[in-house]
Structure 1
Amino acid sequence: MDALISKQIDETSLRSPPWTTMVSNDDNAYIDFKKQPKLIRGALEDLTPFKKWDFVETFYSLIEWINSASSTLESNDCVFNPVEKNTDQQYPYPKKCSARLMILFRDIPENCQEKSVDWLSNKILTLVSTMKPNFKAGAIALSHSPTCYLALGDQPNTGGMGYQVTLTFLAYGKNESKCYENMKEVLKVAQSSLQGVNKSIQHGELDLLYKT
């Protein structure tokens, strides 16, 4: 599967988890899925209209796992965009759909170390690119989003400036059904790759960055 990494940093807004409300909708308050995993399937409103499609269950499973006790990562934001006309010329399909998942290290200070964030992105990139090499109807793109980590302090001269890693899932097809079928495959690769990253962290691979 194609794996892309963008050097273009998202400067549209500075995120500060745990955020309280969304600018566009005050009703969308932050929910810590690590503490309230049972809310995942009801809180992700973008997915609700598409529950009849198999990819939604795969997406729920990914978010449940990444926020589970067995994960060293967590999610902070999730968006799904339904089928639309495909304008990505490198993929010869008339339709596409997309989704976004923002992830971070649970060890909050790690997110403020550029070396660690780069390691996370590159590790995901490597793992994704080795899976399903013959699958050409989907891709995962990675980018960094500037983030102020309030857990490290919210007073002047405190806090921590760092990043989250944004995963953008892209799936293509001749029609709606094929797009959503291919999105399921993209999400399965994403979960397998993130589980591989998780194992590397648990085995101390990230710690070795600071011993060389």
Structure 2
Amino acid sequence: MVSDDSSVYIDFKQQPKLIRSAIEDLIPFKKWGFVEQFYALIEWVNGPRSLLESNDCVFNPAENNSDQQYPYAKKCSARLMVLFRDIPENCQAKSIDWLIQNILQHVTTTKPGFKAGAICLSQSPTCYLVLGNQPDTGGIGHQVTLTFFAYGKNDRRCYENMQEVLSIAQSSLLRVNKGIQNGEVDALYGAS
């Protein structure tokens, strides 16, 4: 963002109406159903009922598939980075591990027969400046990166399958949010 003036951080919690106009990767594809699903996911994760938030997202359009694990001609991908709204929680390894494990558990059980897509999870190191950026200030933590892949015999099928992948992601994150609301993260530390 520092080197690219066109890249500007927007806090979608504070400015939710910008979601549908500020995510430039999606605008050329707005006729496809997956775009509405992606918007709905981003709106929910940054909305008032979520204890998570997003910090970044990307969409990569359909291209030829070279991944032999998935026997389809085309693939597309997307990314969504999520974090706890309770910022200090993102600096606790147990909390990040809980978030990843619970997303993974719900993703794998939501639609196990679906073979034309995948959701990969990883951690991205992050400096939370609100907590300090000096040694021993506690500002170093992580975000969870969800990378979405969808496959199909052509662009249309690829984008239809991306809609399904995003639906599975949203369903999984809704269930994770419920776990946070029920105090499952607090229970990791013996809090009630």
Query: TM-score if structure 2 supplies the norm length?
Result: 0.96
How far does residue 90 in structure 1 lie from its aligned partner after superposition? 1.1
Alignment length (residue pairs)? 191
Report the equivalent of 1:6: none
Report the equivalent of 1:83: 62
Report the equivalent of 1:64: 43
Native 8 Å contact 1:151 1:159 kept in 2 = no
Matched, 1:138 2:133: no
How far does residue 132 in structure 1 lie from its aligned partner after superposition? 1.2
Which residue of the other structure, out of 83, 105, 120, is the alignment partner of 2:99?
A: 120
Instruction: Report which structure shows greater RCO (CA 8 Å, sep ≥6).
Output: 1
Unaligned stretches of 5+ in structure 1?
1-20
Q: Tell me which amino acid in the other structure corresponds to 2:17.
A: K
Native 8 Å contact 1:150 1:159 kept in 2 = no
Secondary structure of the structure 2 residue equivalent to 1:58: helix
Report the equivalent of 1:94: 73
**CA–CA separation in structure 2 for the residues paired with 1:116 and 1:159:** 15
Q: Tell me which amino acid in the other structure corresponds to 1:93.
A: Y
Query: TM-score if structure 1 supplies the norm length?
Result: 0.87
Native 8 Å contact 1:140 1:169 kept in 2 = yes
How far does residue 158 in structure 1 lie from its aligned partner after superposition? 3.0
Report the equivalent of 2:34: 55
How far does residue 185 in structure 1 lie from its aligned partner after superposition? 0.2
Q: Tell me which amino acid in the other structure corresponds to 1:126.
A: Q
**CA–CA separation in structure 1 for the residues paired with 2:111 and 2:134:** 47
Native 8 Å contact 2:133 2:140 kept in 1 = no
Q: Tell me which amino acid in the other structure corresponds to 2:168.
A: V
Matched, 1:30 2:16: no
